[in-house]
Amino acid sequence: MESKRSKYTLIGLTIFCILLIGVTSINSSFLAPLRTGVGYVLIPLQSGINKVGLAVYNQLNDYSSLKTAVEENKQLKEQIASLVEDNNRLQTESFELSRLRKLYELDEEYMQYHKVGARVIAKDSGDWFQVFRVDKGSVDGIREDMNVIANGGLVGIVTDVGANYATVRAIIDDASEVGAMAQQSGSTCIVAGDLKLFKEGRLRMTDIAKDGDVKDGDKIITSNISSVFLPGLLVGYASDITVDSNQLTKSGYLIPVAEFDTLQEVLIITDLKEDMTGETEKGTEGQS
């Protein structure tokens, strides 16, 4: 009942407005006072309607602008995400290129040895790559006791080989021992792995003869008499060399040249020390 009454009221007001407009449009002096009176009623009503219409128009325009802005914002976010992804990819490629360039320089430095590049695919738990696995194995010619280099020097040695993988023990591992010597003097020593000590960024150097010429800062390389390590590979730098309490030997520390927290690519030297030793012995026998 209430809705019908409102409907009739709206219809009545509409007819009334039409009549008022019609009256004001009649050009007659007789109706001039009436037009003036109607004007007082109709003009405010028209002004109110115009204001309402303008407000509705502005709201619709604002809604359209907001919808456009939301769509543009979505597109900008997608573009930013794409640019961030491209930037991350370029940075990754740049870092990889830098690492590969260093490996290439290392390859050039030890041109006397044959090498195979490999990627690190797994490692033992812990902060460092003391034992890790690479993506090359026996099908690639990899064998146990092959030396592994990266980051400017010796990293470790292959201890286990599968068809498509190999396990490497790094020189920082507790089970590692490297026969080494000072590059300048040839004085020999042993570089022993020690994970606890490596927290300080160094390893133990022992078995240096008391009169051996090993000084702080000397380059320490793999020695000629090592049983498995090829000669001449940079291991690190000597530090804090002192005479032992037995007064017969000296010891100290070694700062490794390789980095053992971010290994991603390595070079595996495919020449074995035992093969080189065998060839040398055969050559000596032939000469005698």
Euclidean distance between CA atoms 202 and 258, whole angstroms: 11
Superfamily of domain 115-271: Rod shape-determining protein MreC, domain 1 (2.40.10.340)
**Residues contacting residue 35 through CB under 8 Å, at least 6 positions apart:** 23, 24, 26
Euclidean distance between CA atoms 281 and 277, whole angstroms: 6
- At residue 286, the pLDDT reads 43
3 state SS of 158? strand
Is the separation of the CB atoms in 128 and 156 below 8 Å? no
**Residues contacting residue 121 through CB under 8 Å, at least 6 positions apart:** 133, 134, 135, 165
Res. 115: pLDDT tops 50: yes
Identify which has the larger pLDDT, 7 or 273.
Answer: 273
- ∠ CA 217-223-226, nearest 5°, is 140
pLDDT one-digit tens code per residue, 36-73: 555 555 566 556 656 665 666 666 666 677 778 777 77
- At residue 206, the pLDDT reads 96
Res. 88: pLDDT tops 70: no
pTM score > 0.75 for this model? no
Is the separation of the CB atoms in 79 and 57 below 8 Å? no
Tokens representing residue 99 in the block: 């690492």
Tokens representing residue 131 in the block: 């034992």
Q: Compute the average pLDDT of residues 228-238.
A: 96
Euclidean distance between CA atoms 168 and 123, whole angstroms: 9
DSSP state at residue 230: P
